[in-house]
C-alpha cells in the first residue's frame, strides 16, 4: 500500500497526463497556418504518448491500492501556434518538476517499480519539452 502522499502525487500525474492528452489532440485539430501540418502531427504524436503515460500511471496506482482520478487538470488549447507551444512547454516543465519529486519520494519509500516507471516517463517528458522549445526558437 502506498502512502497518501504518493497516491496524491500519482493522481496529480494522471490528471496532468489526461490534460495534455486532450490539450495536444485539440491543438492537433485546431492548429492553423503555414506550419500547421507539421506541428499538428507533432501535437498528435505527443498526445498519444501522454495518453499511454496516463494508462501506465493509472495501472500502477491501481496496483498500489489507490483510487484513480478521472478529472484532468485545466485544459488550455491556446489560439496561435506560438501560444500553443508556449502553453505546452510550460505544461512539460510542470510535469518534469512533479515527476522528479515522485522519483525522490517513491525512492525514499523503497518503491522501486514506481521510481523506475517515472524515470522512464521523465525521459519522454524532457524530450517533449525539448521538442516544444525547439519549435519556439527563432531562425
What is the predicted pLDDT for the residue at 57? 98
Q: How many structural domains are present in the chain?
A: 1
Give the integer Cα–Cα distance in Å for 95 and 93: 5
Give the integer Cα–Cα distance in Å for 7 and 13: 10
Nearest to 10 by CA among 95, 125, 90, 76: 95
Can you read off the three cell numbers belonging to residue 115? 521510481
Q: What sections of the chain are H helices per DSSP?
A: 4-30, 36-63, 81-108, 112-136
Burial per residue of 89-105, b for 16 or more beta-carbon CB atoms within 10 angstroms, e otherwise: bebbebbbebbeebbeb
What is the predicted pLDDT for the residue at 2? 85
Local confidence pLDDT in tens for the 139 residues of the chain? 789 999 999 999 999 999 999 999 999 999 999 999 999 999 999 999 999 999 999 999 999 999 999 999 999 999 999 999 999 999 999 999 999 999 999 999 999 999 999 999 999 999 999 999 999 997 5
Give the integer Cα–Cα distance in Å for 99 and 30: 29
1 SS3 class: coil
What is the predicted pLDDT for the residue at 24? 98
CATH of the domain at 63: 1.20.1260.10
- Torsions phi, psi of 77, nearest 5? -80, -35
Range of the domain at 59: 4-68+77-136
Can you read off the three cell numbers belonging to residue 39? 506541428
- CA 46 distance to own-chain centroid: 9
Amino acid at each position: 500500500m502506498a502512502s497518501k502522499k504518493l497516491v496524491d502525487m500519482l493522481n496529480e500525474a494522471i490528471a496532468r497526463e489526461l490534460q495534455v492528452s486532450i490539450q495536444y489532440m485539440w491543438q492537433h485539430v485546431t492548429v492553423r497556418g503555414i506550419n500547421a501540418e507539421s506541428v499538428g502531427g507533432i501535437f498528435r504524436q505527443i498526445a498519444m504518448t501522454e495518453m499511454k503515460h496516463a494508462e501506465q500511471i493509472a495501472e500502477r496506482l491501481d496496483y498500489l491500492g489507490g483510487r484513480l482520478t478521472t478529472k484532468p487538470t485545466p485544459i488550455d488549447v491556446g489560439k496561435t501556434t506560438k501560444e500553443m507551444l508556449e502553453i505546452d512547454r510550460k505544461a512539460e516543465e510542470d510535469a518534469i518538476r512533479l515527476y522528479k519529486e515522485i522519483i525522490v519520494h517513491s525512492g525514499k519509500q523503497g518503491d522501486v517499480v514506481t521510481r523506475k516507471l517515472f524515470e522512464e516517463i521523465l525521459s519522454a517528458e524532457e524530450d517533449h519539452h525539448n521538442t516544444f522549445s525547439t519549435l519556439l526558437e527563432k531562425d
